[in-house]
């Protein structure tokens, strides 16, 4: 005969109660933002097209084909350490089709792993700290401040085939504006402007040219807003970085209202939005306006690039260095959880892809462990170069798993 064990019964009841309490805590934490592992598809209608396009590059007898990923973002993108490593990994597997968008000249405090610049008598304006200019896509304007100036664009890793399709985002300021390009073979090319466009309007001027090349014009002739660099007649992947230190998603609203058509030059198969860190630190941020801008920007991307998948990327794990507390919530920037939740809600509402960078790193508070491993900087906001490289490796693995 089996004897009823009252002590064991009580212990089981206590275990059940504790499990229910833990479940309640987990639900409460989830309300601050869910943790999503890998790339999550909330219903993007272009996912199948993107997967097919990338898998097409994996075929041995492929035809001429280029796949482009364009990432907009803040300082996490502007360093090009994350996007640079992603570019390297994808091009090693699928082929090198080029670099993509670059600033018109060197931007102070930023870096590009594939391009350097030399310049004389040109100056650069950024939409981050200037508001009275007609900024094109990317939010930069370079203009000559004296005559006889130049910008030399120097792709790194020069090989035997240095013929590039360069697309210049350029604004002629005079009816007979003259802009010359001198290529690596000392051949002079003259930019031909589209006569349908009015003087003082941004336009895209494509040209095939041997790199490195030099752009020259006189003061008051033209403004340069960015350059698209693609290898001529070469299949593969382009990972393009369009970033600005200190940028928020709202920086798009500081660019010309007519900048969206310039996005078509990228022919992007995927557009990644990597913003949120600077919003999280802004205690005066209008969260309703932030959400509205994010939704509007996604809609405009889809209007401009109807066949491109859209991916929202959260910011990395972030803590306030100056706050000491055992409670991680107290150590978060003012809007950290709110921004994450809005991004996740918008990803679901607008049916985009989503990648949770914090979860990919290891979860809540992980940046302190990354600091000990020399993968994060002491500000507990930015990563080291190796930290961005490791993050890109995780994203790459998640992307490859996602397309299979």
Contact 268, 226 (CB under 8 A): no
Quick: pLDDT tens for 157-194.
776 667 999 999 999 998 878 899 999 999 999 987 87
- C-alpha pair distances (Å), 90 with each of 128, 237, 258: 31, 7, 32
pLDDT range class, residue 320, cuts 50, 70, 90: very high
Q: Identify the burial level of 138 via C-beta atoms within 10 angstroms of its C-beta, where 0-12 means exposed, 13-18 middle and 19 or more buried.
A: buried
Quick: pLDDT tens for 208-263.
999 999 999 999 999 999 999 999 989 999 999 999 999 999 999 999 988 999 99
Nearest to 170 by CA among 145, 199, 150, 146: 199
Whole-number pLDDT of residue 192:
78
Lookup: tokens for 192: 């031909």
Whether pLDDT at 67 is above 90: yes
Lookup: tokens for 92: 């090693």
Whether pLDDT at 27 is above 70: no
Whole-number pLDDT of residue 12:
54
Lowest mean pLDDT among 184-188, 289-293, 321-325: 321-325
| Mean of pLDDT values over 282-289 | 96
| Mean of pLDDT values over 359-365 | 95
| Mean of pLDDT values over 26-48 | 72
Report, in angstroms and rounded to the nearest whole number, the Rg of the chain calculated over CA atoms: 24
Lowest mean pLDDT among 189-193, 196-200, 332-336: 196-200
Lowest mean pLDDT among 22-26, 33-37, 51-55, 108-112: 22-26
CA dihedral 204, 209, 212, 217 (to 10 degrees): -50
Whole-number pLDDT of residue 61:
73
Nearest to 344 by CA among 333, 354, 334: 354
Lowest mean pLDDT among 64-73, 86-95, 149-158: 149-158
Give CA–CA dist 297/286, Å, rounded: 16
Whether pLDDT at 283 is above 90: yes
pLDDT range class, residue 139, cuts 50, 70, 90: very high
Whole-number pLDDT of residue 23:
37
DSSP sequence for 255-323: S-TT-GGGGGGG--SEEEEE--HHHHT-TT--HHHHHHHHHHHHHHHHHH-TT-EEEEEPPPP---TT-
Contact 103, 140 (CB under 8 A): yes
Give CA–CA dist 373/386, Å, rounded: 10
Whole-number pLDDT of residue 21:
38
DSSP class of residue 252? G
Give CA–CA dist 246/129, Å, rounded: 10
Whole-number pLDDT of residue 2:
45
Residue with tokens 């004389």: 120
DSSP class of residue 384? P
Give the three-class secondary structure for 128. Answer: coil
Q: Identify the burial level of 185 via C-beta atoms within 10 angstroms of its C-beta, where 0-12 means exposed, 13-18 middle and 19 or more buried.
A: exposed
Catalogue all structural domains in the chain, each as residue range(s) with its CATH number.
34-97+235-404 (3.40.50.1110), 104-233 (2.60.120.1360)
Whole-number pLDDT of residue 296:
96
Q: Identify the burial level of 240 via C-beta atoms within 10 angstroms of its C-beta, where 0-12 means exposed, 13-18 middle and 19 or more buried.
A: buried
Whole-number pLDDT of residue 8:
54
| Mean of pLDDT values over 77-93 | 97
């Amino acid at each position: 005969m089996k004897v009823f064990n009252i002590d064991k019964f009580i212990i089981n009841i206590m275990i059940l109660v504790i499990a229910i309490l833990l479940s309640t805590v987990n639900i409460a934490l989830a309300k601050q933002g869910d943790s999503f592992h890998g790339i999550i598809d909330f219903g993007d209608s272009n996912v199948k097209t993107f997967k097919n396009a990338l898998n097409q590059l994996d075929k041995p007898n492929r035809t001429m084909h280029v796949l482009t990923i364009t990432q907009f973002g803040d300082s996490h993108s502007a360093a090009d350490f994350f996007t640079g490593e992603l570019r390297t990994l994808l091009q090693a597997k699928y082929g090198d089709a080029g670099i993509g968008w670059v600033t018109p000249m060197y931007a102070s405090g930023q870096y590009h792993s594939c391009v350097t610049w030399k310049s004389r008598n040109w100056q650069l304006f950024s939409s981050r700290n200037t508001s009275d200019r007609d900024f094109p896509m990317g939010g930069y304007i370079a203009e000559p401040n004296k005559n006889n100036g130049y910008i030399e664009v120097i792709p790194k890793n020069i090989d035997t085939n240095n013929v590039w399709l360069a697309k210049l985002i350029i604004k002629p300021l005079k009816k007979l504006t003259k802009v010359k390009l001198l290529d690596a073979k000392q051949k002079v090319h003259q930019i031909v402007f589209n006569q349908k466009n009015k003087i003082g309007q941004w336009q895209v001027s494509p040209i095939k040219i041997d790199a490195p090349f030099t752009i020259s014009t006189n003061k008051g002739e033209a403004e340069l807003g960015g350059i698209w660099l693609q290898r001529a007649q070469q299949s593969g992947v382009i990972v393009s970085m369009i970033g600005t230190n200190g940028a928020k998603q709202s920086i798009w609203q500081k660019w010309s209202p007519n900048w969206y058509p310039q996005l078509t030059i990228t022919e992007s198969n995927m557009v990644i939005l990597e913003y949120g860190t600077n919003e999280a630190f802004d205690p005066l941020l209008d969260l309703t306006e932030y959400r509205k801008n994010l939704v509007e920007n996604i809609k405009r991307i889809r209007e401009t690039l109807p066949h491109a998948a859209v991916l929202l990327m959260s910011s990395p794990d972030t803590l306030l260095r100056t706050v000491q507390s055992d409670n991680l919530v107290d150590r978060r920037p003012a809007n950290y959880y709110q921004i994450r939740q809005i991004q996740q809600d918008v990803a679901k509402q607008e049916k985009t892809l989503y990648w949770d960078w914090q979860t990919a790193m290891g979860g809540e508070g992980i940046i302190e462990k990354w600091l000990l491993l020399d993968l994060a900087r002491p500000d507990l906001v930015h990563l080291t170069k190796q930290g961005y490289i490791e993050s890109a490796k995780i994203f790459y693995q998640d992307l490859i798993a996602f397309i299979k």
